Structure 1
Amino acid sequence: MDEINLLDKKVQEYIYEHINADLVELRMKKSPFKNISSLQLVQQIQGKRIAQKKFPILFNNDQIIYPPHLNLEQASSQSTALFKQKIIEGKIGADLTGGMGIDTLFLSENRDKFYYVEPNLNLFNITKHNFKVLKKDNIVLENCSAEEFISKQKTGLDFIFMDPSRRDENKNKKILLEDLCPNVMEIKEQLFKLAPCVYIKLSPLLDIKRSIELLPIQKIYILSVKNEVKELIFKLHIDSFSNNPEIHCINLESNQPSFNFNYNEENRCLCSKLSVPKKYLYMPNASILKSGAFKLLGNSYQLDKLDNNTHIYTLDIKLENFPGRIFKVIDLNFQPNNYDVKKFNIITKNYPLNIDEIKKKYKLLEGGNLYLIFLKAKNKTYKIVCSLV
């Protein structure tokens, strides 16, 4: 990719002007610039468009070059990278799976030295250019694989960060630890020879229980952004063998508090009392749902649970600082004829019909200000109209 041509003022103006254009249509058109293809222009427009929401730190800089879509998709968001910057300590670190460099960009901040490792030469050169534009002088760039880096690196590090690829050579998605590249299971002993702490970014679909059995995990961060689980961060430590890591449930870009506990606490906890729906319903955020801390959450906030398999809680009083959404009950038995409005935000929990079936049966549309929650509580089904508190 010719960086000089892409950074031409007229080319950058074209990219900005077409930020909201139909990319399929643009791809079919002839490029207005000599030596720059339509595909190259579309790649930059697509990158700029994604950066606007995912990593705004890059968006307003017209000297940034964007890599192909898959690299943009695999990169951490700015908010999750900033969170990692806050929790990881040490003066010298390395990102062994550098990619387009978003995590490196934030993790290198205020470090004496930080290594960026990336085997793909094209991606390496793009990121090298971007780091130069951003004046990241403390980053040492290594164009090699993670395995090559750890075999030749002689100097000790304070920490290592990795985001193993979750796709095989045929672009198929992989979830199991042993299927990732680099294979953490195979190189963990070498990693610990270089650094006492290793942080690994992993898929939200990963089995946490199995991972604890396989790796020396000290802490697990379940990171959601606006109530959608985006990534798991495992902190491995050379001396962690307890199989009882700290779990931190975080919902970024919300005002919800974190919910923290030790893994074994959930098993020792008693179940919450089951109850019919009361004045308020409490729905834990996505990070807590992923953690499986259903008994512990209920006990911590002294909540009643609607059903063992319905992970919604209830109380007659409104709590402050609950890590999730709170709904005020308006009607416990929704009847369509009682409502002029036909638009609801529909939620189902442990209910025999899915959302599409409910919309068809009751002739409803999605949207509006009210919520319609279909659920089971104490072996009885409810159709509850609520407002979000």
Structure 2
Amino acid sequence: MEIPVLHKDVQKYIAANLNSDLHSLLLKKSPFTDVSIQEIVQQIKGKQVAQKKFPFLLKDEIVFPPQLSLEQSSSDKTALYKSNILKGKKFIDLTSGFGIDAFYLSKNFEDVTLVEQNTELLKLVEHNWNVLHKKARFINQKLEDFLIENTENFDVIYLDPARRDLNRNKVFLLEHLSPNILEIQDKLLTLSKQVVVKLSPLIDLKYLTSVLKNVARIDIIAVKNDVKEVVVFLSKENSQDIKCHCINLESEESDLIFDFGSEENANSKFSEPEKFIYIPNNTILKAGIFNLISEKFNLKKLHPNTHIYTSENKINNFPGRVFEMEVIDGKEIKKKSQFNIISKNYPLKPEEIKKKYGLKDGGNDYLIFTQSKKGKIILKSV
């Protein structure tokens, strides 16, 4: 496969412009007759994204797709996490895209198939996999047509539906995705015992469980407390219980596993601040298990609408940040002091708080502005 952007002189030009202003670069004329300036910028953008999301692709001969395909690709961190829990003989990715998930997920399978309707994108992925000495069967076909013609069964079927409409606006409901998972879920479960679907971190979990069949597990995956994706597992052998996993990668926090729906029967106790203060990570907040956290770790909430917890003795393995703090009066705050500001269920935002009290941002000390049942309070790290 002849790829003009891989010519040595083009690659040298790309390397020399990795830190250039891309808007200015796009206004220039390409110095090459067979490679446009748009194609050059596409490769530069790809390398910039790869540095953060999948550095294993920063190799000679790797070619990057347009921006949209890069945006929806998983990072190597989330893909690696998923690869550690999926195993079998035959694996298929029905929406392979740029193939990052498939590259990692396929490591525990003998037989790997990638389906992609975009011809040029699939050729690019096949080229990259050859460079990386990775084998697979590449099928250039619409998913719907493949499902009609296919006669094979698989141990795991994986999908990452496109989350943009025809006007490239972001969409989130399953019926608006491409493919529409609701229309094909029954067919998928005839072809595999396990179907794994990657979804937007903004998807509503209750909605998800109300429209999908045979949900066995939901993983909320964050990287450094930034929720990146929600992954739902459909299983032919599903029981009535749905296990939800809260995972915060690249942190020292423990994973939390709970039965989906258990929040409804959980209750919180309340207290004014005690010696230790707990702030759940964003996977817990996404899961909405505010009472269950109180019960599970024997913690007390400060206020029904303040998702901050407290205890007199330190609790280990909490999925979030833990501080030793004391309540202070606003008059005790010295101007020009340096603090990390946290504002939760409080009228002022961190920037407004810094302006009001004349504070500098950063340092090792924390101030938490929040509310207990008795009213507004300020907490300072000890």
The corresponding residue for 2:29 is: 30
Quick one: structure 1 residues 213 and 181, their matched pair in 2 at CA, closer, same or farther if it must change by over 3 Å? same
Q: In 2, are the aligned partners of 1:346 and 1:366 still within 8 Å (CA)?
A: yes
Quick one: structure 1 residues 336 and 362, their matched pair in 2 at CA, closer, same or farther if it must change by over 3 Å? farther
Q: How big is the shift at 1:135?
A: 1.4
SS at match of 2:20: coil
The residue type paired with residue 131 of structure 1 is: W
Quick one: structure 1 residues 337 and 210, their matched pair in 2 at CA, closer, same or farther if it must change by over 3 Å? closer
SS at match of 1:46: helix
Quick one: structure 1 residues 335 and 123, their matched pair in 2 at CA, closer, same or farther if it must change by over 3 Å? farther
Q: How big is the shift at 1:81?
A: 0.5
**CA-to-partner distance for each residue in 1:62-99, whole Å, 9 max, x for gaps?**
11000011111110000111111111122101111111
- The answer as to 2:61 corresponding to 1:63 is yes
Q: How does 1:154-233 map to 2 (within 5 A)?
A: 154-215=151-212, 216-233=214-231
Q: In 1, are the aligned partners of 2:336 and 2:358 still within 8 Å (CA)?
A: no
SS at match of 1:165: coil
Q: In 2, are the aligned partners of 1:334 and 1:385 still within 8 Å (CA)?
A: no
The corresponding residue for 1:326 is: 322
The corresponding residue for 1:266 is: 263
Q: How big is the shift at 1:208?
A: 0.5
Quick one: structure 1 residues 316 and 219, their matched pair in 2 at CA, closer, same or farther if it must change by over 3 Å? same
CA–CA distance in structure 2, aligned partners of residues 165 and 303 of structure 1: 41
SS at match of 2:301: strand
Q: How big is the shift at 1:261?
A: 0.6
SS at match of 1:87: coil
Q: In 2, are the aligned partners of 1:150 and 1:194 still within 8 Å (CA)?
A: no
User: What 5-or-longer segments of structure 1 have no aligned partner?
Assistant: none
User: What 5-or-longer segments of structure 2 have no aligned partner?
Assistant: none
Provide the identity percentage. 45
Q: How big is the shift at 1:170?
A: 0.4
The corresponding residue for 2:289 is: 293
Q: How big is the shift at 1:239?
A: 3.5
Q: In 2, are the aligned partners of 1:118 and 1:142 still within 8 Å (CA)?
A: yes
SS at match of 1:172: coil
CA–CA distance in structure 2, aligned partners of residues 161 and 50 of structure 1: 23
CA–CA distance in structure 2, aligned partners of residues 16 and 281 of structure 1: 49
Q: How big is the shift at 1:364?
A: 3.7
Q: How big is the shift at 1:240?
A: 2.6
**CA-to-partner distance for each residue in 1:143-199, whole Å, 9 max, x for gaps?**
112111111111111110011111110011111111111011111111111111110
Quick one: structure 1 residues 18 and 385, their matched pair in 2 at CA, closer, same or farther if it must change by over 3 Å? farther
Q: In 1, are the aligned partners of 2:83 and 2:108 still within 8 Å (CA)?
A: no
The corresponding residue for 1:93 is: 91
The residue type paired with residue 96 of structure 2 is: G
The corresponding residue for 2:45 is: 46
Q: How big is the shift at 1:56?
A: 1.1
The residue type paired with residue 24 of structure 1 is: H
CA–CA distance in structure 1, aligned partners of residues 333 and 104 of structure 2: 54
The corresponding residue for 1:303 is: 299
Residues matched between the structures, number:
381
**CA-to-partner distance for each residue in 1:241-285, whole Å, 9 max, x for gaps?**
62x3000000011111100011132222222x2111222211111
Q: In 2, are the aligned partners of 1:334 and 1:384 still within 8 Å (CA)?
A: no
Q: How big is the shift at 1:331?
A: 5.1
The corresponding residue for 1:11 is: 10
Q: How big is the shift at 1:365?
A: 4.3
Q: In 1, are the aligned partners of 2:273 and 2:327 still within 8 Å (CA)?
A: no
Moved more, 322-331 or 95-104: 322-331
Q: How big is the shift at 1:44?
A: 0.7
TM-score, normalization: structure 1?
0.93
Q: How big is the shift at 1:205?
A: 1.1
The residue type paired with residue 326 of structure 1 is: V
Q: How does 1:138-149 map to 2 (within 5 A)?
A: 139-149=136-146
SS at match of 1:338: coil
CA–CA distance in structure 1, aligned partners of residues 126 and 146 of structure 2: 17
SS at match of 2:3: helix
What root-mean-square deviation, in Å, do the aligned CA atoms of Structure 1 and Structure 2 show?
1.8
Q: In 2, are the aligned partners of 1:158 and 1:195 still within 8 Å (CA)?
A: yes
TM-score, normalization: structure 2?
0.94
**CA-to-partner distance for each residue in 1:347-372, whole Å, 9 max, x for gaps?**
21111222343333334443333222
The corresponding residue for 1:381 is: 376
CA–CA distance in structure 1, aligned partners of residues 12 and 362 of structure 2: 37
Please point out which of 122, 125, 133 is paired with 2:123: 125
CA–CA distance in structure 1, aligned partners of residues 328 and 201 of structure 2: 34
CA–CA distance in structure 2, aligned partners of residues 308 and 331 of structure 1: 19
The residue type paired with residue 67 of structure 2 is: H
Q: In 1, are the aligned partners of 2:112 and 2:137 still within 8 Å (CA)?
A: yes
The residue type paired with residue 109 of structure 1 is: K
CA–CA distance in structure 1, aligned partners of residues 2 and 50 of structure 2: 18
CA–CA distance in structure 2, aligned partners of residues 306 and 26 of structure 1: 54
Moved more, 227-236 or 309-318: 309-318
